[in-house]
Structure 1
């Protein structure tokens, strides 16, 4: 499997594959690349409907240039703990960010959200985010304000009175519940339209079908989120350390 950065020719093949409606996995197979590479490439460069090979290639060159100019990351950064491959973590963070962007979250908000989510503590200060993402404090402040308004992060003061931004364990539950509430509002409006357009008319029937479908989906999401909520609070189990002597572990006495 080839390594290194995507070439301009490969980006053209990606664009052709998207135009043909191919899945990321199939495009990746044809390029002999990991699916994550193709996913990250597409999502960070406009998404499947707006991806353009030429503009993606130019954008990558610009990012590479900025990265070379940026100060190196702190060698003690969390992503290098636990024997992790720092480069693999960095690439995964880019993929995670790209997928968040593809879901509709703005670029800087996606970068901050991904950065917070991938830390073991689930929290960082503004200064730490500035250092990790190599952006201005103003950009971090704006991104955090947006994420907080959407219920994705919360603020807390640590023992040094520094403001920390935290990815709460319940964030994804609250997100699902908010989505269900939003869908329920569409259901209500659709059913109002049935009365306005008149029962048994094609348009009213369409709206009623939409309302019934979305009503079922929103109720299912809310119910499933409630049932699975405890999963979000599962804690990592520390690896078991066997302190017994090798001989004792086998029942031998030497």
Structure 2
């Protein structure tokens, strides 16, 4: 019967017709079988010159006996060690992944990320992901590549083994946020080149300039500005101007208010500098110039200037203490706005003693 296994009688007919020099297509027509069935049967069992019907039938029966049906997978436990409903957890992972996919991330990458995030160890091997998601190793590998490019997943070697585990950290959403901010500044830099190419003041150039301004401001709002040189958040929080270059001649690295010439400072480093200068002024209790601060901290003046600029633009870095600049271009600290009433401020402000600079109110 077409589609079923060849019978011993059919194999005998194939052997006889091959001996008569009849081709595969004609043999298949006589048997009512596909030509591919006849050609595979002959190729598996010695070819046109060595086909033996009895031997072919015994060999096929032996192969059938060796093929044992795969054992069905063990049923998943109804609850995990924490007593959670495993079915409900899987449904939540798929729902969360679908929500993330609607934001533009590839669906398989979202499934891998949410599965890792919903795993107590926050890490799984490739084999573990394949088993958990019921997908192919190739699908997992491709999804991991996407997530690594977005800096959302890290590889870690399993101690004593050649296998690797894929891990998400507790800061995964911060990294996703910064990755998005870096993408926005790349859009802004590309649009700036478009402005120069199309011509400022032309209809197309003006549209491109609006695009540049939008993505530059969005990137700045998300991460305090991004360095046009590195794509990392900058020291001062300023977005790159049109053309993608930082102002020259200020003795600082492009896009950075604190880094020495030829170096690049990360957002974390410049934020730490801003916190340090606020703490130094609070410790001093006096109003200091930029030069005095630089001397006290052992920093170059441009680093102090950049840290002051960042602390001014991002007052939340100082916590309950805010920077104040006096009319004489000195810097001091005071309570952040909104923490004390005017009456409390007046009650806590004392007149300066001899030789002491008056704190800013």
Q: Which category describes the TM-score, using the shorter chain as reference length?
A: 0.5 to 0.7
Q: Secondary structure at the match of 1:90?
A: helix
What stretches of structure 2 of length at least 5 have no aligned partner?
1-71, 226-232, 234-266, 269-361
Aligned residue for 1:24? none
Matching of residues 6-17 of structure 1 within 5 Å: none
**Deviation (angstroms), 1:73:** 5.2
Partner residue in 1 for 2:138: 138
Q: Give me the CA root mean square deviation.
A: 2.7
1:121 aligns to what SS in structure 2? coil
- Secondary structure (helix, strand or coil) at the match of 1:156 reads strand
TM-score by length of 1: 0.53
CA distance in 2, matches of 1:106, 1:112: 10
The answer for unaligned runs of 5 or more in structure 1 is 1-69, 228-254
Show the counterpart of 1:179.
180
TM score, norm. by length of structure 2: 0.39
Name the counterpart of 2:77: 75
Which structure's residues are more often helix, by fraction? 1
Q: Secondary structure at the match of 1:82?
A: coil
| Aligned residues of 1:193 and 1:207 also touching (Cα < 8 A) | yes
Q: Does 1:189 align with 2:190?
A: yes
Distance 1:173 1:143, change over 3 A: same
Look at both structures and tell me which one has the larger radius of gyration over its CA atoms. Answer: 2
Number of aligned residues: 156
Partner of 1:164: 165
User: Structure 1 residues 198 and 143, CA, compared in 2 at 3 Å: closer, same or farther?
Assistant: closer
Counterparts in 2 of 1:196 and 1:163: CA distance versus 1, 3 Å:
closer
Inter-CA distance 200–140: structure 2 relative to 1 (3 Å threshold): closer
In structure 2, the CA distance between the partners of 1:73 and 1:99, relative to structure 1 (3 Å rule), is farther
Higher relative contact order (CA 8 A, sep 6+): 1
The residue number in structure 2 matching 1:222 is: 223
C-alpha displacement of 1:118: 0.7
8 Å Cα contact 1:112-1:140 kept in structure 2: yes
Relative distance call for 1:197 and 1:100 in structure 2 (3 A) is same
1:116-161 CA-partner distances (Å, limit 9, x unpaired): 1111110011222122112233332332233223322111123342
- Measured in 1, the distance between the counterparts of 2:126 and 2:199 equals 55
